[in-house]
Structures are given as structure tokens and as C-alpha cells.
Amino acid sequence: MTTTTAAGSDQAFFEQRGFGQTLGFGRRAALIVVDLINGFTDASRPLGANLDAQVDASNQLIPLMRAAGLPIIFTTTAYDDAGLADAGVWGLKMKGSATLRAGSHDVALDARLDYRAGEPILIKKYASCFFGTDLLSRLVSQGVDTVIVTGCTTSGCVRATVVDAVQNGLRPIVVREGVGDRSRASHEQSLFDLQAKYADVMALADVLAHLRVQQPA
């Protein structure tokens, strides 16, 4: 396991080499709430973990996004094919994928989320919210250049989404308290990597402060 001293040494080394520069917010942001669905937020489920704090963090951001007239996109992972053919090879890697059946309780948004009927729910098949979906077109058509990301998992769907976002010319903002994982070690390492190379990892309080400034007079 990486020690605190080693982690601090890594941080200093990366900073000396110019990693971790600040991207900042652009002109218009969207919030992507990644896979806060029952199959992931219920720790008793095969793919689940305790994500109470991440649901709460998302719920603090959502009203401010609505008030500013900024897009909010919720996502889920769901499979229609009885043999999981639409999960591809990825479905072979995790037995728990079989629980993510379209129309089931596991693929529904966690009822604690501040979701309103009519708001978009993006259905995806793979880790990245961009892969095989129309997410990029939706964002471009609404003039979005920044994506605020919450949800799960930090090392999986969040990380894949953030990498694709920056590769598509968007500015990713990862809300530290808003993302979670089944593994604490994977979570912390992923946040380190995301901050170093792909995104701005920001405290919830700082993102909330930015959004409050965006509110109409």
C-alpha cells in the first residue's frame, strides 16, 4: 500500500513536472450524475457500495444547476439482451452485470436523488457516458464546454467519462465528495490520476460557490 510519505512524494514529483494544471470552468457547464442507480447505491447488491454521501452531494448541486438554467443529465447502465450481448466482452468481466437488466429495480435511479420527471436519463452500455451514446451531441447543441461530474465509480464509469470528456474538448470538473467507489484505494488513486492529467478535482463547497455566482439576478 502507498504510504502517506510516498503519496506526498508523488504529489511533489508530479507538480514539479507540470502535471495538474488548472483547467477552470468555461462559459457553460452541465452536470452529469453518473450511475447513481439502485444496483450501485445499495451495498447489498453485487455491484453496490455505500454511496449515501455521493447522493447527498449531487442533491446539493442539482437545484443550483436548475436555477441557473444549466443542463443536468442522469445516467444509468442497462442491458436489454437476454444473453447480455449488448454488454459485449465487458459483460464477461463482471458477473454482476447480469443484474443490470433494462426495466429492473437495479437500473432505476436511486429514489433519494432530486430527479424531476422529464429530465434526461442517458442509458449507456459501457463505462464512459460518451461511448455509444449521443451525449456529446447533446452537450454541443446546448453550448456546453464544461462538465461537472458526480456519481460512481471513481475508478470506472466516472474516470472513463472524464477521460472521454477532455478528449472531446470539454473541461471536466470532478466533485471530490460527489464521486465514490467500492474500493477506497482505487478511489483515491483515481482522484490523483484525474487531477494530474484529465480534470480539475474540486471540493463540493467550491463548486457550489461557483454555481451560486451563476444564478440569475
Q: What is the pLDDT of residues 183-195, one digit of tens each?
A: 999 999 999 999 9
CA 46 to each of CA 75, 98, 103, 112, 123: distance values in angstroms, whole numbers, following the listed order: 19, 10, 18, 20, 20
The 10s digit of each residue's pLDDT in 109-168 is: 999 999 999 999 999 999 999 999 999 999 999 999 999 999 999 999 999 999 999 999
Catalytic choice (31, 32, 57, 157)? 157
Which DSSP category does 97 fall into?
A: G
Of the CATH numbers 3.90.79.10, 3.40.50.850, 3.50.50.60, 3.40.190.10, which one belongs to the domain with range 26-213? 3.40.50.850
43-96 confidence digits (pLDDT tens): 999 999 999 999 999 999 999 999 999 999 999 999 999 999 999 999 999 999
Domains of the chain by residue range = 26-213
C-alpha to C-alpha distance for 73 and 123, rounded to whole angstroms:
10
Q: Which of 189, 191, 182 is nearest to 94 (CA)?
A: 182
Whether 157 is a known active-site residue: answer yes
- Please identify which residue in the block is written with the cell numbers 465509480: 153
What is the pTM for the complete model shown? 0.93
pLDDT value, residue 18: 74
Q: What integer pLDDT is reported at residue 14 of this predicted model?
A: 86
